[in-house]
């Protein structure tokens, strides 16, 4: 399906699906492809509601593989998540670590340490952000980075305003983001942790390839801005437009259809 007004930067790097379920199956196929090709560099993973059906489709796909192929995926698996809340660890059900355990590590039977995230319980979150960025670098840098789109244009937890060279860091979350993520905390934005550790725009843009996934009518406004506005700090995701390895995958509700 063509875009109503396709910006030049998007060219042929765009796919749109009628239904969120078809989008999830397609993204799962692309993630699986990374392993079929022999994972050369770590995967960059995201959390959030957009990724839930994606990971569920990925688990279904991988668990249906012949045993030797599934075992091969398990042996290859090496991923780094974008972010984590400050003050939450794997034992807190609202943490991204717990989310990754529930959605991927446990159902796929991945060994501990294969799915890595910043340590939200670190005594010094700023130092943890630097350590985590170093760990990504040491592991060879991200090959394919999976990204969702925040309702205020953030990627990872790179809140606006944000430049393309923003480093991995610990930061305070905006009111808009705490509201966006309240569902995982009983619907109460004040229960969403006030701080987070995130890979910076610098590290995200350092990935070899980027898969930006936008799903659902709630993202129509911010996606329209992304498709219209030139890169700038008020819309952190806009810095992705210049990335040569960007692919944008959306569903029709996200396009306002
Ligand atoms: C969250 C996360 C992002 C996520 C984005 C979209 O705050 N930090 O990694 O991709 O916002 O979330 P959702 O898919 O729930 O809309």
Three-class secondary structure of residue 171 per DSSP: strand
How much is the pLDDT for 5?
66
| Torsion angle (degrees, nearest 10) of CA 200, 89, 35, 199 | 0
CATH number at residue 131: 3.40.50.1360
Residue 11 pLDDT: 85
> Is-catalytic flag, 159?
yes
If one counts every other C-beta atom within 10 angstroms of the C-beta of residue 177, the result is 20
Give the predicted TM-score (pTM) of the model. 0.97
pLDDT for the residue numbered 12: 87
Pocket test for ligand 1, best of 44, 47, 49, 178 (most atoms within 8 A of CB): 47
Please report whether residue 27 resides in a domain. yes
Strands (DSSP E) contained in the chain are 14-17, 43-45, 79-81, 83-85, 115-116, 144-147, 169-172, 195-198, 209-214, 246-251
How would residue 257 be classed by pLDDT, with cut points 50, 70 and 90?
confident
Answer yes or no: is pLDDT of 187 > 80. yes
CB 156 near ligand 1, within 6 Å? yes
Task: Give catalytic status of residue 68 as yes or no.
Answer: no
Q: Is 184 helix (H, G, I), strand (E, B) or coil?
A: helix
| Ligand 1 mean position, distance from CA 68 (Å) | 33
Over residues 184-190, the mean pLDDT reads: 97
**Is the bond leading into 161 cis (omega within 30 degrees of zero)?**
yes
Q: Taking the CB of residue 18, how many other CB atoms lie within 10 A of it?
A: 12
Q: Report the pLDDT value the prediction gives residue 96, as an integer from 0 to 100.
A: 98
- Residue 183 pLDDT greater than 80, yes or no: yes
133-182 residue pLDDT tens:
999 999 999 999 999 999 999 999 999 999 999 999 999 999 999 999 99
Distance 102 CA to ligand 1 centre (A): 17
Give residue 155 CA to ligand 1 midpoint distance, Å: 7
**Which whole number is the average pLDDT over 207-224?**
98
| Residue 116 forms part of a structural domain | yes
pLDDT band at 6 (very low <50, low <70, confident <90, very high): confident
| Domain-located, residue 2 | no
> Is the residue at 5 inside a domain?
no
Residue 232 included in any domain: yes
Residue 106 in this model has a pLDDT that exceeds 60: yes
CA of 34 to the centre of ligand 1 (A): 22
User: pLDDT confidence of 227, banded at 50, 70, 90?
Assistant: very high
In a domain, 1, yes or no: no
Sheet strands side by side (includes 43-45): 14-17, 246-251, 209-214, 144-147, 43-45, 79-81, 115-116
Q: Cβ(252)–Cβ(16) under 8 Å? A: yes
Confidence of residue 1 (pLDDT cuts 50, 70, 90): low
Options 83, 101, 128, 251, the catalytic residue: 83
Query: Edge-to-edge strand order for the sheet containing 83-85?
Result: 83-85, 195-198, 169-172
Give per-residue pLDDT as tens, 56-77.
Answer: 999 999 999 999 999 999 999 9
Structural domain includes residue 4: no
| Spatial CB neighbours of 59, under 8 Å, sequence gap ≥ 6 | 103, 104, 107, 108
pLDDT at 249: 98
Ligand 1 centroid from CA 41, angstroms: 23
Contact 120, 97 (CB under 8 A): yes
What does the CA dihedral 203, 206, 209, 214 come to, rounded to 10 degrees?
Answer: 40
Catalytic residue (choose from 81, 152, 158, 181): 152
- What spacing in Å lies between the alpha carbon of 85 and ligand 1's midpoint? 12
Whether 152 is a known active-site residue: answer yes
Q: Which of 23, 45, 50, 198 to mutate to test the pocket of ligand 1 (most atoms within 8 A of CB)?
A: 50
Helix (H, G, I), strand (E, B) or coil at 116: strand
Active site residue 83: yes
What local confidence, expressed as pLDDT, does residue 226 receive?
A: 97
**Exposed, middle or buried: residue 230 (CB in 10 Å: 0-12, 13-18, 19+)?**
exposed
From the list 159, 181, 243, 251, the catalytic residue is: 159
Residues spanned by the domain of 113 = 14-255
pLDDT over threshold 60, residue 16: yes
Q: What is the pLDDT of residue 2?
A: 56
**Cα 97 from chain centroid?**
13
Q: How many domains does the chain have?
A: 1
3-class SS letters over 53-83: HHHHHHHHHHHCCCHHHHHHHHHHCCEEECE
pLDDT at 28: 98
Is there a domain that residue 6 lies in?
Answer: no
Predicted confidence band of residue 51 (pLDDT cuts 50, 70, 90): very high
Q: What is the mean pLDDT of the chain?
A: 97
Residue 82 Cβ contacting ligand 1 at under 6 Å: yes
Residue 81 beta carbon below 6 angstroms from any ligand 1 atom: no
């Amino acid at each position: 399906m063509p875009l109503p007004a396709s910006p030049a930067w998007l060219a042929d790097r765009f796919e749109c699906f009628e239904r969120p379920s078809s989008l999830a199956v397609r993204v799962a196929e692309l993630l699986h492809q990374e392993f079929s090709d022999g994972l050369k560099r770590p995967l960059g993973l995201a959390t959030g509601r957009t990724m839930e059906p994606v990971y569920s489709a990925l688990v279904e796909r991988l668990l249906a593989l012949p045993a030797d192929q599934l075992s091969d995926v398990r042996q290859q698996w090496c991923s780094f998540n974008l972010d984590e809340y400050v003050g939450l660890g794997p034992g807190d059900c609202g943490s991204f670590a717990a989310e990754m355990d529930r959605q991927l590590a446990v159902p796929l039977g991945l060994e501990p340490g294969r799915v890595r995230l910043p340590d939200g319980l670190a005594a010094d979150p700023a130092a943890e952000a630097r350590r985590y960025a170093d760990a990504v670098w040491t592991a060879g840098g991200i090959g394919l980075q999976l990204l969702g789109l925040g309702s205020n244009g953030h990627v990872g937890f790179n809140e606006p305003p944000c430049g393309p060279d923003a480093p991995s860091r610990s930061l305070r979350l905006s009111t808009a983001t705490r509201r966006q993520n309240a569902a995982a905390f009983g619907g109460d934005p004040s229960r969403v942790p006030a701080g987070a550790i995130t890979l910076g725009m610098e590290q995200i843009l350092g990935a070899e390839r980027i898969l930006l996934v936008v799903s659902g009518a709630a993202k129509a406004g911010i996606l329209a801005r992304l498709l219209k506005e030139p890169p700038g700090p008020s819309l952190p995701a806009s810095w992705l437009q210049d990335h040569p390895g960007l692919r944008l995958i959306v569903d029709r509700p996200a396009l306002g259809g």
